[in-house]
Structure formats: C-alpha cells, structure tokens
Chains A and B, each alone.
Chain A
Amino acid sequence: MSKNSANPALNRRTFMKAASAFAGSTMFGGVSFKAFAQQAQALAPADHCFVFAYFSGGWDQLLNLDPRDPTEFTPERISETRILPGYSLLSQDPSYPTMPIQPPGSNIAFGPAVGNFANHFDVMSVVRGINMNTVAHEVGFRYFLTGKEPNGSAARNSSTATEVVGQMYPKMANKPPVPNLAFNIESYNDRYGGYANALRVSSANDLLLTLSPSPTAIDSEIEKQLLDMRGQPVTCEAQLYDSRGLVTQYQDARKQVRTVLDATLDRYFRFDSTTGDSMAVAMEKSATVARYKLRVGNNGLPNDPRNSSAARAALVATALKKGVSQCVSMNIAGGLDTHFGTQLTQANNQRAGWNALADLISDLKESDHPSGGKFIDHTTIVVFSEFSRTPLINAAGGRDHHITNSCAVIGKGVKHNHVFGASGNVGMASGVVNHDTGLPDPKGYQYLPDHVIATVMAGAGLDYSIMRVEPLKGLLAG
C-alpha cells in the first residue's frame, strides 16, 4: 500500500499510456502532441530540488554534527565515558576552535570542523544517534544512498535520488534535461524507466560533454537544412509506427538537445573561462567564482575550479538554478578514512566539504526561485557519511569505524534549527528515542537510515511505502 497516497505517484506505465493515448487522439485532429511538447520545453528549475552530499570514508562526527564538551569528556574520564573529543589535537591550526560551536540563536551545537556550515543552523535539522548496522564502507554508503540495508554489500532497490525522480519526473511540466545527476557517486535504479537513471559523471568535463555542442562541427547552414528536414510532416505510416510515442519521445529529446545547446548552458559550468560570454553571463560566473572561491587565472583564490569540493558545490548550484537537474548526488569530500595520522587531517578534509556546502546553502538562500521564495525553500539537502569514527583515538593516532552516525537534513520538508535524537554519553551508543518527539526515551526505538530517507520522501509528499518504515514525525516540518 502506498504511503502519501493522497498524492499518488503517476507511474511510468500510466504516463506512457496517457502520452500515447494523447498522441493517438491527435492523429485525427486536435492539438498536436509536438506543439504541446514544445510548449513544455523551456528550461526552468524544478519546484522541489534535492541534493545528496556524501562525505566519503566515514567522518568523525565529534568534529561535525555530534560534538562533546571537552571539559566534560576529559581524558581522565575515558574509562567512564569511552569518548575523547580530542579538539586540543587541532591546536596546530589556530583557525580551529577548541570547543563546540553554537552560533547565537542556534539550538544545534557543532564540532570544530564544520566551518561556516554552522551559520546555516536556521534551515537545518541534525539527526544524531543513527544506528548504521554496519562498519563496512561500501555497505554504509549504499545504505544511506538507498535508505535500505544492502544485501551483503549489494545495494538494494533504487537510490533515493532515483526514487525521487522516478516519482516526480513524469508529473513535471518543465522536465529538466538531466533530472538525476550523480557526481562521482554510485546510483541505482531497479524499478523506474530510464528517465530516472542518473547521468553519472566523474568530473565537470563529463557534464560539459552533454551540454556542449558536438565536438565534430557541421557547417551551420547545413545543420539548419538538416533541422528543417527533420521538422517536416511525417507520413501516415510513420505516425502509425509512433502510435505508442517512442518516436515522439525521441524527437522531443532531440528538440530538448537543441534547447539545451541553444541556451549554451555549458558556459555556466565553465567556471575557469569567460571566453565568448556576454556581460551578464560573465558577471554571473564571476559571482559564482567569488562565492565558491574558485581559482581562476591569478585571482589568488584557493579552490580548483574543476576538481574540488567548492567546484562540485558550484556545479550543483548551477545545475539546480539553471534547470538542468532536479536531483544532484555528489561526493563532496573525501580522505576521511583516517585510521592513522592526526586529527588535523580529518578536520581539514572535512572542513573543505563543509565550507563548500555552506557556500552552496548561502547561494540557495540568496537566489530567487521563479516559483516564489528562495531556492532553499524549494530544496532538500541530505548530508551523510557511511558511518562515523570511534569516539576514542586508537594507538596509531587515528580513529576506527564506529556504528553510530549522524546526518544533516537541510531545507524543505524538515524542521529547522532542530536536533533529532542523541547518541549515548557512554561510547556514543546509538540512540533510543520517541520517534514523534526525537527526544531520548527508554521506551522508544532506535532509528536507521531507512527512517531518515522515509522522512525526506514524506516531507516531499512522495510515496515512501518502499521504505517499509514510517517517517520520523519529530523531524518532519509542520
């Protein structure tokens, strides 16, 4: 039985039936399907966008979403608490605070590695004490990507991004050309049509290949002739062949290609080049370069414009704002599997990702959405890692894998300035809470990635029945 059935999902079969019936009905007159499709081709941002940001390697949650007061959790009490925040070990870099951060007005305390991300407490919920049921990398991240515990290490069912696009895309009036974009991250589709498949790119160049003109040029006049020829009326035989809409779908996709190419969207993603840009585009890109601190020419800014956390965040923002994508999943930060070495390595690698996310949220907070409000009002961001790291430091100076995890859910669909759940004060054990309030309750229940993803889907009005759990009411907005 579907959940959120008041807003039933239009499945692909139903959509195709409707589309082909519409196409069939127009064979004998009436509104042309092509004309209808053309009207819906203008690129506009999705009304509800999603970002899945993955910190690869297993993060130290003491440094980000589940901090502890080092004056309370002291080395002397280790045998009692089994927790060592270790913030003093970051003192080599004075930019790191040695205490948890709690901006004025915030109900959320953050660890010292979150950088500017803490400033966005007003649009987020933090979920603490999640039981991951695993300390294996590939199991953990696949668990969070799908919201379903993998079979062995194999992902089960579709990625949440695919699930979102699978349910929403058929109903969208303005369909984004690449609805599901996966940036250097896995994506799965086990029950939706190809439209929900992620375009998986490992770098900005792959996306540019989709948005850029063909590398093999044909003379523009000749190209125009070919386009004109393609636009000529089709024969009755061809119409009959297309009675189920496949040819129309392909023709519409080709028109959409033209729309994308004519919009020269690729220029917005070429952060390190302004060649051929109009003044308006150049200014927009200049603002992006400044916001995400991308190194272009000799501007002295720190971040690689093609391959850095900041560049990925800039790419996500551009893809959402320009209507290229509805869902973007990305590997925003890596190098976190720090069994050895110093706490500073973990903190530095984390902070790059958190600061990039902070810039992304600022961008979405300040950008107007065509449907009204700001982009952040139309966007849900899930920030996660496959598990966390042990609350105690090991003999090699690092931390190992820990089963209790936390995550952040930002933007539309969830409560803001809110903490749901808590990990234990002894060894950071998984939380047991009342799901309706999010408060610790000995008679409560544990919560898993399944619950978080079900909540995200419920918050978007989607059918979450495939999750087989109820959403966390204490996390849902309104």
Chain B
Amino acid sequence: MKTAFLQSALLAVAVAACTSKPAEKPELAGTLETVDMGHHPPTVKLPDPEENQGHVGRKPRRITVAQLRESILTTTGRQWSQINALAASLGQPDYALTVSESTEANLVFAKFVEDGAREVCLAVASADLARPNAADRVLFPDVTVANRDFTTMTDDAIKANLSYLSVRFWGQPFAPAERDAWTATFKTVAARAKTINRPEQAWGAMCVAFMTDPRFITY
C-alpha cells in the first residue's frame, strides 16, 4: 500500500513537471545571456600595464605601403597618384635590392603621407562640393549648407560629421573631449576657408588631419 502510494505520488510530480511552463524571468533591456562555450579554453586577460613596463597588448605597427594604398582608396574612394612612384621611398621592398618592407615611421614616410593626404583630400573635398546628392559625398554626407558656407553648421552637426569621419578613417569613434577640440579647430578652419573662398579646404583640411594622424597609419 505504501509502495503504491509513493508510485502514485512520483507519477503525479512527473506529470506536473512535464506540463508546467518554465518560470518566466523578468526582461532586462540590453542584457545578454552568458553563453556557455563548453570546450573553449580559458581566456588570458591582458596584463596590467603597470606590471608590464607600461605596455598593453602587442606593439603597434606602421601600415605597409600596400595597406596605405588600400586604406586611402577605401576611406576616400580615390587613389594618391604618386603612391606607386614613391613606394620604394615609403618602404616597399623590390625583392631585388631590398628584401624586407620598412615600416619605420620616419621623415620620408611622414613627408610623403602628408603630400598624399593633401592631394587626395582636397580632390575629394572638391568633388564632394560638386555632388548635389548629399548621400554621395565622402567627407560630409549628412551635411547640408547653403552656398558652400560651412560656418553655418551647428556644433552638433560638426560633431556628428567628425564622429562619422573618425570611424571612417580610424575605425573608432572620438573621445568626447578630443571631438570638442577638433570641433573648435574645424570652426576656425571653416571660417578661414570662407574668407579665402576655398570651401574645399574646410573639410579637406580635416581629412588631411585624419589621414596624417597616427591612428590612420598604425594598427
């Protein structure tokens, strides 16, 4: 009798367990469930910089000439006309006389990257000014100003475009404080560009600043 009772009780519990709904968890916006990775090896945390002579992660590297070529084309849609002619001076090996790529961020590299940035950026800025459809523009796709006068842009519009460009050129957004500094610079640059009637130099100059920044030429 006792055995029959226990069997009935266990059956009742089992049926109840199969038919009951799981308890619902409260929904939290933006939270992620932890995924059990099973056999994934344990990850190693990056060392504390203070315990690693101030370093964290691997050493940054200067981009190669091939990477520079692709980066310029990808970010601006235009190629620097002299990049092949100056490739050897920028560090590209010819595998005849020089067998390893020089990725030294030296004077010659800095000089020629500046030359290239100016050529490409001012050309892109001029082309953008001629594009009636804002979405087709490279340097200021969401900016609409009258009479090519960028001094009329609001701070928010400038910041939004600078953030867009920082992601476009560096793959990372601005820190707010740095963006504010660049915004102030842009306003001065835009005013000067208006004064000298060279509107392409407003965003063109900022493009040069992005392209010659260490974040563009290192990874």
Contact = CB atoms under 8 A, between A and B. Distances in A.
Interface of A: 20-21, 24, 27, 155, 177-178, 186-190, 193-195, 197, 199-200, 210, 214-219, 221-223, 225-226, 228-230, 232, 235, 237, 240-244, 246-247, 249-251, 253-254, 256-257, 260
Contacts of A186: 97
Nearest to B122: A216
Contacts of A214: 114-115, 118-119
B54 A240 contact: yes
B107 A177 contact: yes
Interface in B163-197: 175, 177-178, 181-182, 185, 188-189, 192-193, 196
B112 to A, nearest CB: 8
A17 to B, nearest CB: 9
Contacts of B55: 20, 24, 243-244
A244 B52 CA distance: 11
Lowest 9 A-B CB distances belong to which pairs?
A194-B104, A194-B102, A24-B54, A250-B105, A216-B118, A253-B110, A247-B214, A243-B54, A214-B115
Interface string B99-121: 11011111111111011001100
A240 B56 contact: yes
Contacts of B54: 20, 24, 27, 240, 243
Interface in B28-69: 49, 53-56, 59-62
Contacts of B182: 229
Interface in B56-109: 56, 59-62, 88-89, 91, 97-100, 102-109
A73 B104 CA distance: 56
B103 A155 contact: no
Residue among B59, B105, B111, B182 with most chain A CB within 10 A: B111
A256 B60 contact: no
A219 B122 CA distance: 12
B91 A194 contact: yes
Residue among B110, B196, B212 with most chain A CB within 10 A: B110
Given A218-B208, A251-B214, 7 more contacts: A24-B53, A194-B104, A210-B111, A216-B115, A246-B62, A253-B109, A257-B107
9 contacts: A193-B104, A194-B102, A199-B89, A210-B107, A222-B192, A243-B49, A250-B105, A250-B217, A257-B110
A21 B55 CA distance: 10
Contacts of B100: 189-190
A477 B111 CA distance: 40
A237 B109 contact: no
A216 B201 CA distance: 11
A257 B111 contact: yes
A345 B178 CA distance: 67
A196 to B, nearest CB: 9
Nearest to B56: A240
A253 B107 contact: yes
Nearest to A23: B54
A241 B175 CA distance: 15
Contacts of A240: 49, 54, 56
B97 A250 contact: no
B218 A256 contact: no
B198 interface: yes
Nearest to A25: B54
A246 B122 contact: no
Given A155-B97, A241-B60, A244-B59, A199 B108 contact: yes
Contacts of A178: 107-108
Nearest to A155: B97
A218 B115 CA distance: 11
B139 interface: no
Nearest to B187: A225
B91 A218 contact: no
A219 B196 contact: yes
A246 B201 contact: no
B160 interface: no
Contacts of A230: 209
Residue among A186, A228, A229 with most chain B CB within 10 A: A229
Contact of A228 (B61, B99, B185): B185
Contacts of A226: 185, 189, 205, 208-209
Contact of A218 (B98, B110, B118, B178): B118
B108 A210 contact: yes
Contacts of A241: 60
Contacts of A223: 205
Nearest to B99: A190
A229 B209 contact: yes
A223 B205 CA distance: 8
Contacts of A190: 99-100
Residue among A24, A27, A177, A219 with most chain B CB within 10 A: A219
Contacts of A20: 54-55
A163 B47 CA distance: 37
